[in-house]
Each structure stands twice: as C-alpha cells, then as structure tokens.
Amino acid sequence: MRVELTGLKMRKLILTTGALMTIIVINGRFHPEIRPNTSPNRATLSQLRPSPLQTLPMAFEPVSTIGGQDGEFSARGNGYRILIQPNGAILDRLNDRVSGSQPFKMRFLATNNSRRLSGVDTLPGTVNYFVGTDQRKWKTGIRTYSKVKCQNLYPRTDVLYYGTNRDLEYDFVLHPGADPSDIKIAVSGLGRSGSAELNAQGDLELRSTAGVYKFHAPVAYQVQRD
C-alpha cells in the first residue's frame, strides 16, 4: 500500500498569515507503535509506560563509517532502526520481523538533485564497533549528532530531523520565497492489508501487520528575527 501526502493545506495556512517573506517552520512528528516480537495480545510499545531511556534524544551516526552509503545517517529507537537518506527515511524493525511485514519507507517526491545531508549538534558520546578479531576492521570514535539536516530538499526549503527513542520529529524550514506546496511525501511498506485514516485529533494513522505508524498533525510557526 502506498500513501501520498502533500503540502497544499499547509500552503493555504501559511498564505493566510501573509508570512511567506519570513522564515516559516512546519513541524511534523512521526510515532511508530510497533508490536513486540512476543505474544500479539500484549500491549503495543505506545501503551507501555515510557521509561527514562525512551525520552532520551536520538543519536544519529554516519553510516559510511560502518560500510554504508556516504551521506546517510542512522539512529535507533525503541524497537526499531531509522536510516536517514537524502530523499527520506526508512524505519526497520529490530530483531525478527512480524510475519509479512516490510520496512516502512517515507520518501520525499520531486526533490532537488542538489540536496545534501549533514550532522548537526555534535553529542558528547561516540560509538565504537569491535566486530570480529581483526582489529584493523574495528571502528572507534564515531561521532554522533542530535540532529540531521537535509539542505535544499526543495527550492529554499530544508528539513531537520531529530527526536527521542519514541518519536521522530522533522521540521521543514521554509526560507523566504519557498512554496510549501512543493512538499510531497509518499509512504510505503504497509503491506496489502494496510489502511490509512485520520483520527479525531487530525493525526494520520497508517496501520500494518507490524503496528501503527502515526503522523501527528503538522504545526506551522514563524521564526522571529533578532
């Protein structure tokens, strides 16, 4: 199942404020409610009481240091792994997958070819990988970041990723002259039995065999200049 989201409604909201000549931030929040690997009768992760670890900020690391593609970053959440790519994000369940489930993909459509990812706000901790007995293949001192920025995703529009172990947040930063209707998102990986619906709060809930992926209703605000 494939679902496409556009920025047309957000464009109407911003135009009514008359603020397109200033910097506008559109904040989105993505919350995966992934079912545990054990009995399907158990509560989903979102129904369990959050632990202090679940509220810690995400730590993003460049995957090129561990054999991945240049310009990509990864982070781990509570029961899942997120891969940030120049054209979107992939969420994959850790450990064994639920039968019939697929990685959940969020793709930005019709983006700029000049888009580029970079780590923002270096964290004090580093990551080490001691895999195997050959010390020449060990990876040490890998920097981690609290945010990842995709510059020039659309003309005069950047996106900034951050979040906690429970939620992935993303800010579309619209610079003067940007058009929010450029923003188009396609999601896939729900499987044939997947469904999509808006709840009473205006959040988009996408259901699959692995759980529920919730896109909270976006919020737009204006950045004040000094």
Question: Rounded distance, CA 69 to CA 62, Å?
Answer: 9
pLDDT in tens, 3-58: 555 544 444 444 433 444 566 777 777 666 654 433 333 334 344 445 555 567 78
Least confident of 54-68, 72-86, 147-161, 164-178: 54-68
pLDDT in tens, 73-90: 998 877 778 899 998 998
Residue with tokens 């205006």: 202
pLDDT in tens, 87-143: 899 888 765 455 556 788 889 988 888 888 999 999 998 888 898 889 888 888 899
Q: Side chain identity at 111, as an amino acid letter?
A: T
- In terms of pTM, does the model score above 0.85? no
Give the residue ranges of DSSP H helices in the chain.
8-17
Q: What angle do CA 41, 46, 50 make, to 5 degrees?
A: 120
